[in-house]
Structure 1
Amino acid sequence: MKYAAIAGGVVVAVIGTLIGVAHFSTNPQKWVAKRYSTVGYHRYHSPKPPSLVAAEITRKFRPIDRLTDSAGTYLQYSKWVVGVLPSGAGSDITVDGPSDGYNRYASHVGGHWQRPGSSGWGRHGGASFRGGGSGSGK
Protein backbone atom coordinates (compact mmCIF):
# COMPACT_ATOMS: atom_id res chain seq x y z
CA MET A 1 0.00 0.00 0.00
CA LYS A 2 2.82 2.37 0.93
CA TYR A 3 4.59 1.76 -2.41
CA ALA A 4 1.39 2.37 -4.36
CA ALA A 5 1.02 5.80 -2.74
CA ILE A 6 4.64 6.66 -3.52
CA ALA A 7 4.27 5.44 -7.11
CA GLY A 8 1.09 7.50 -7.49
CA GLY A 9 2.86 10.58 -6.19
CA VAL A 10 5.74 10.06 -8.60
CA VAL A 11 3.33 9.70 -11.54
CA VAL A 12 1.53 12.94 -10.58
CA ALA A 13 4.87 14.76 -10.24
CA VAL A 14 6.08 13.55 -13.64
CA ILE A 15 2.82 14.54 -15.35
CA GLY A 16 2.95 17.97 -13.69
CA THR A 17 6.52 18.47 -14.84
CA LEU A 18 5.67 17.49 -18.42
CA ILE A 19 2.73 19.88 -18.49
CA GLY A 20 4.91 22.67 -17.11
CA VAL A 21 7.66 22.01 -19.65
CA ALA A 22 5.14 21.86 -22.49
CA HIS A 23 3.61 25.18 -21.43
CA PHE A 24 7.00 26.86 -21.08
CA SER A 25 8.19 25.47 -24.40
CA THR A 26 5.19 26.94 -26.26
CA ASN A 27 5.28 30.36 -24.61
CA PRO A 28 7.71 32.77 -26.25
CA GLN A 29 6.96 35.48 -23.68
CA LYS A 30 8.34 33.45 -20.78
CA TRP A 31 11.39 32.34 -22.76
CA VAL A 32 12.16 35.89 -23.93
CA ALA A 33 11.74 37.19 -20.35
CA LYS A 34 14.31 34.69 -19.07
CA ARG A 35 16.79 35.27 -21.88
CA TYR A 36 16.83 39.07 -22.34
CA SER A 37 16.92 42.09 -20.00
CA THR A 38 13.51 43.37 -18.93
CA VAL A 39 12.97 47.08 -19.63
CA GLY A 40 9.19 47.28 -19.12
CA TYR A 41 5.99 45.28 -19.21
CA HIS A 42 6.59 42.64 -21.90
CA ARG A 43 9.48 44.76 -23.20
CA TYR A 44 13.05 43.50 -23.31
CA HIS A 45 16.49 44.46 -24.59
CA SER A 46 19.43 42.58 -26.03
CA PRO A 47 22.88 43.88 -26.98
CA LYS A 48 22.69 41.63 -30.06
CA PRO A 49 21.51 42.91 -33.46
CA PRO A 50 17.85 42.30 -34.44
CA SER A 51 18.66 39.68 -37.07
CA LEU A 52 20.47 37.54 -34.48
CA VAL A 53 17.77 37.98 -31.81
CA ALA A 54 14.99 37.12 -34.28
CA ALA A 55 16.96 34.03 -35.37
CA GLU A 56 17.37 32.92 -31.73
CA ILE A 57 13.64 33.28 -31.08
CA THR A 58 12.57 31.53 -34.29
CA ARG A 59 14.96 28.64 -33.63
CA LYS A 60 13.22 28.09 -30.30
CA PHE A 61 9.66 28.89 -31.44
CA ARG A 62 8.60 28.43 -35.04
CA PRO A 63 6.32 31.35 -35.93
CA ILE A 64 3.20 31.13 -38.08
CA ASP A 65 4.62 34.02 -40.08
CA ARG A 66 7.61 36.34 -40.03
CA LEU A 67 7.82 39.78 -41.59
CA THR A 68 10.92 41.93 -41.80
CA ASP A 69 11.09 45.52 -42.98
CA SER A 70 13.41 48.47 -42.40
CA ALA A 71 11.85 49.08 -38.96
CA GLY A 72 12.16 45.57 -37.55
CA THR A 73 11.14 41.91 -37.59
CA TYR A 74 7.66 40.78 -36.55
CA LEU A 75 6.93 37.21 -35.52
CA GLN A 76 3.35 35.94 -35.52
CA TYR A 77 2.36 33.13 -33.14
CA SER A 78 -1.13 31.84 -32.39
CA LYS A 79 -1.28 33.75 -29.08
CA TRP A 80 1.65 36.19 -29.35
CA VAL A 81 3.26 38.84 -31.53
CA VAL A 82 6.99 39.35 -31.01
CA GLY A 83 8.57 42.51 -32.38
CA VAL A 84 12.36 42.76 -32.67
CA LEU A 85 13.44 46.32 -33.39
CA PRO A 86 16.87 47.94 -33.73
CA SER A 87 17.99 49.95 -30.71
CA GLY A 88 21.47 51.39 -31.05
CA ALA A 89 23.81 48.44 -31.59
CA GLY A 90 21.27 46.08 -29.98
CA SER A 91 17.60 45.21 -30.10
CA ASP A 92 14.39 46.05 -28.33
CA ILE A 93 11.96 43.14 -28.12
CA THR A 94 8.24 43.39 -27.44
CA VAL A 95 5.92 40.50 -26.70
CA ASP A 96 2.20 41.19 -26.97
CA GLY A 97 -1.01 39.24 -27.19
CA PRO A 98 -2.49 38.96 -30.70
CA SER A 99 -4.72 42.07 -30.65
CA ASP A 100 -2.23 44.34 -28.88
CA GLY A 101 0.63 43.15 -31.09
CA TYR A 102 -1.41 43.52 -34.27
CA ASN A 103 -2.50 47.02 -33.24
CA ARG A 104 1.05 48.02 -32.23
CA TYR A 105 2.51 46.92 -35.57
CA ALA A 106 -0.53 47.33 -37.85
CA SER A 107 1.32 49.77 -40.10
CA HIS A 108 3.88 47.02 -40.77
CA VAL A 109 1.82 43.80 -40.68
CA GLY A 110 -1.71 45.03 -41.47
CA GLY A 111 -1.49 44.44 -45.20
CA HIS A 112 -0.15 40.94 -44.71
CA TRP A 113 -1.67 39.47 -41.52
CA GLN A 114 -5.36 39.13 -40.83
CA ARG A 115 -6.72 40.88 -37.76
CA PRO A 116 -6.70 38.20 -35.04
CA GLY A 117 -9.89 36.59 -33.81
CA SER A 118 -11.02 36.44 -30.20
CA SER A 119 -8.59 33.57 -29.51
CA GLY A 120 -5.70 34.79 -31.64
CA TRP A 121 -4.73 33.10 -34.89
CA GLY A 122 -5.07 29.55 -36.11
CA ARG A 123 -2.15 27.38 -37.18
CA HIS A 124 -1.94 29.03 -40.59
CA GLY A 125 -2.37 32.63 -39.44
CA GLY A 126 -6.09 32.98 -40.09
CA ALA A 127 -8.31 34.58 -37.49
CA SER A 128 -9.57 32.11 -34.93
CA PHE A 129 -13.17 31.91 -33.77
CA ARG A 130 -14.51 35.46 -33.58
CA GLY A 131 -17.55 34.69 -31.44
CA GLY A 132 -21.18 34.35 -32.26
CA GLY A 133 -23.85 36.89 -31.90
CA SER A 134 -27.41 37.34 -32.83
CA GLY A 135 -28.36 34.91 -35.59
CA SER A 136 -24.99 33.20 -35.53
CA GLY A 137 -24.95 29.73 -37.03
CA LYS A 138 -28.43 29.92 -38.54
Structure 2
Amino acid sequence: MIGGVSAAVIAAVVLVAVLKDGDGSPSKWISKKYSRVSSGVYRSPKPPQAVAKEINKKHKAIDRVDDLAAMGAGGGVFLRYPKLVVGVLPDGSGSRITVDTPSGGYSRYHSHVGGRWSSPGSNGWNSSGIASFRGGGPGSGK
Protein backbone atom coordinates (compact mmCIF):
# COMPACT_ATOMS: atom_id res chain seq x y z
CA MET A 1 0.00 0.00 0.00
CA ILE A 2 2.86 2.41 0.82
CA GLY A 3 4.41 1.68 -2.58
CA GLY A 4 1.12 2.53 -4.33
CA VAL A 5 0.78 5.81 -2.45
CA SER A 6 4.39 6.70 -3.21
CA ALA A 7 3.89 5.95 -6.90
CA ALA A 8 0.75 8.11 -6.98
CA VAL A 9 2.55 11.02 -5.30
CA ILE A 10 5.49 10.77 -7.71
CA ALA A 11 3.11 10.63 -10.70
CA ALA A 12 1.28 13.72 -9.44
CA VAL A 13 4.54 15.65 -8.99
CA VAL A 14 5.70 14.72 -12.50
CA LEU A 15 2.34 15.72 -13.98
CA VAL A 16 2.39 19.11 -12.25
CA ALA A 17 5.97 19.73 -13.43
CA VAL A 18 5.10 18.85 -17.03
CA LEU A 19 1.99 21.02 -17.03
CA LYS A 20 3.75 23.93 -15.35
CA ASP A 21 6.64 23.92 -17.83
CA GLY A 22 4.50 23.10 -20.85
CA ASP A 23 5.67 26.27 -22.58
CA GLY A 24 9.32 25.24 -22.25
CA SER A 25 11.81 28.04 -22.62
CA PRO A 26 11.08 31.75 -22.30
CA SER A 27 11.46 32.14 -26.08
CA LYS A 28 8.76 29.54 -26.78
CA TRP A 29 6.41 31.12 -24.26
CA ILE A 30 7.04 34.62 -25.66
CA SER A 31 6.37 33.40 -29.21
CA LYS A 32 2.99 32.03 -28.10
CA LYS A 33 2.02 34.99 -25.90
CA TYR A 34 2.97 38.00 -28.06
CA SER A 35 2.50 39.05 -31.70
CA ARG A 36 5.49 38.18 -33.91
CA VAL A 37 6.94 41.13 -35.84
CA SER A 38 10.00 39.38 -37.28
CA SER A 39 12.48 36.69 -36.29
CA GLY A 40 13.12 37.10 -32.56
CA VAL A 41 11.03 40.30 -32.31
CA TYR A 42 7.54 40.52 -30.82
CA ARG A 43 5.03 43.22 -29.93
CA SER A 44 2.66 43.82 -27.03
CA PRO A 45 0.16 46.64 -26.50
CA LYS A 46 1.20 46.75 -22.81
CA PRO A 47 3.99 49.00 -21.43
CA PRO A 48 7.50 47.51 -21.03
CA GLN A 49 7.45 47.12 -17.25
CA ALA A 50 4.14 45.20 -17.38
CA VAL A 51 5.41 42.92 -20.16
CA ALA A 52 8.71 42.26 -18.37
CA LYS A 53 6.78 41.43 -15.21
CA GLU A 54 4.60 38.92 -17.13
CA ILE A 55 7.63 37.25 -18.69
CA ASN A 56 9.56 37.14 -15.41
CA LYS A 57 6.54 35.74 -13.58
CA LYS A 58 6.33 32.83 -16.04
CA HIS A 59 10.10 32.35 -16.43
CA LYS A 60 12.22 33.73 -13.58
CA ALA A 61 15.26 35.57 -14.94
CA ILE A 62 18.77 35.28 -13.47
CA ASP A 63 18.95 39.08 -13.46
CA ARG A 64 16.97 42.10 -14.58
CA VAL A 65 18.12 45.59 -15.57
CA ASP A 66 15.48 48.34 -15.80
CA ASP A 67 16.79 51.69 -16.99
CA LEU A 68 13.46 53.17 -18.14
CA ALA A 69 13.37 55.70 -15.30
CA ALA A 70 16.85 56.97 -16.14
CA MET A 71 16.64 56.79 -19.94
CA GLY A 72 12.94 57.13 -20.72
CA ALA A 73 12.06 56.03 -24.26
CA GLY A 74 15.76 55.23 -24.87
CA GLY A 75 15.78 52.64 -22.10
CA GLY A 76 14.17 49.29 -21.51
CA VAL A 77 13.88 46.29 -19.26
CA PHE A 78 16.43 43.53 -19.90
CA LEU A 79 16.03 39.99 -18.59
CA ARG A 80 18.98 37.62 -18.46
CA TYR A 81 18.48 33.85 -18.69
CA PRO A 82 21.16 31.15 -18.91
CA LYS A 83 20.70 30.84 -22.70
CA LEU A 84 18.81 34.05 -23.63
CA VAL A 85 18.60 37.80 -23.26
CA VAL A 86 15.11 39.29 -23.51
CA GLY A 87 14.83 43.02 -24.13
CA VAL A 88 11.52 44.80 -23.53
CA LEU A 89 11.58 48.27 -25.05
CA PRO A 90 9.08 51.09 -25.42
CA ASP A 91 7.34 50.99 -28.81
CA GLY A 92 4.67 53.66 -29.15
CA SER A 93 2.06 52.97 -26.50
CA GLY A 94 3.21 49.34 -26.16
CA SER A 95 6.39 47.30 -26.17
CA ARG A 96 8.83 45.68 -28.55
CA ILE A 97 10.23 42.40 -27.21
CA THR A 98 13.50 41.01 -28.51
CA VAL A 99 14.85 37.51 -27.86
CA ASP A 100 18.59 37.01 -28.41
CA THR A 101 21.35 34.54 -27.69
CA PRO A 102 23.47 35.54 -24.69
CA SER A 103 26.28 36.97 -26.84
CA GLY A 104 23.87 38.65 -29.28
CA GLY A 105 21.79 40.21 -26.50
CA TYR A 106 24.83 41.28 -24.53
CA SER A 107 26.29 42.95 -27.62
CA ARG A 108 22.99 44.59 -28.61
CA TYR A 109 22.27 45.95 -25.13
CA HIS A 110 25.81 46.43 -23.82
CA SER A 111 25.19 50.15 -23.25
CA HIS A 112 22.34 49.18 -20.88
CA VAL A 113 23.69 46.06 -19.16
CA GLY A 114 27.49 46.21 -19.60
CA GLY A 115 28.12 47.79 -16.21
CA ARG A 116 26.07 45.15 -14.43
CA TRP A 117 26.38 41.89 -16.40
CA SER A 118 29.57 40.05 -17.19
CA SER A 119 30.17 38.94 -20.75
CA PRO A 120 28.59 35.52 -21.33
CA GLY A 121 30.68 32.42 -21.87
CA SER A 122 30.37 30.22 -24.95
CA ASN A 123 27.40 28.46 -23.32
CA GLY A 124 25.77 31.59 -21.89
CA TRP A 125 25.56 32.08 -18.13
CA ASN A 126 25.01 29.61 -15.32
CA SER A 127 22.14 30.05 -12.84
CA SER A 128 24.31 32.41 -10.78
CA GLY A 129 24.84 34.64 -13.81
CA ILE A 130 28.50 33.76 -14.28
CA ALA A 131 29.93 32.86 -17.69
CA SER A 132 29.38 29.13 -18.03
CA PHE A 133 32.65 28.45 -19.86
CA ARG A 134 35.80 30.49 -19.49
CA GLY A 135 37.79 28.78 -22.24
CA GLY A 136 41.55 28.73 -22.32
CA GLY A 137 44.16 26.14 -22.91
CA PRO A 138 47.11 24.70 -21.02
CA GLY A 139 48.28 26.92 -18.17
CA SER A 140 45.36 29.32 -18.47
CA GLY A 141 44.37 29.01 -14.79
CA LYS A 142 40.96 27.39 -15.19
Normalised by the size of structure 2, how large is the TM-score? 0.77
What displacement does 1:21 show?
A: 7.2
What is the aligned partner in structure 2 of residue 129 from structure 1? 133
Aligned partners of 1:58 and 1:106: how far apart in 2?
21
The one-letter amino acid paired with 2:33 is R
What is the aligned partner in structure 1 of residue 10 from structure 2? none
Q: Is this contact kept in 2: 1:119–1:130, CA < 8 A?
A: no
Which one of 108, 112, 115 corresponds to residue 111 of structure 1? 115
What does 1:73-88 align with in structure 2 at a 5 Å threshold? 73-88=77-92
Aligned partners of 2:140 and 2:20: how far apart in 1?
38
**Unmatched runs of 5 consecutive residues or more in structure 1:** 1-13
What is the aligned partner in structure 2 of residue 3 from structure 1? none
Aligned partners of 1:59 and 1:72: how far apart in 2?
17
What is the aligned partner in structure 1 of residue 4 from structure 2? none
Identity of aligned residues (%): 57
What is the aligned partner in structure 1 of residue 63 from structure 2? 65
* Structure 1 residue ranges (4+ consecutive) displaced by more than 6 angstroms after TM superposition: none
**Unmatched runs of 5 consecutive residues or more in structure 2:** 1-13, 69-74
Secondary structure, aligned partner of 1:33? helix
Judged with a 3 Å threshold, the aligned counterparts in structure 2 of structure 1 residues 72 and 55 are, in CA distance, closer, same or farther, namely: same
Aligned partners of 1:53 and 1:21: how far apart in 2?
20
Secondary structure, aligned partner of 1:119? coil
Normalised by the size of structure 1, how large is the TM-score? 0.79
Deviations 1:18-47 (A, max 9, x none): 4x975743x110100000000011000000
Secondary structure, aligned partner of 1:95? strand
The alignment of Structure 1 onto Structure 2 pairs a total of residues equal to: 122
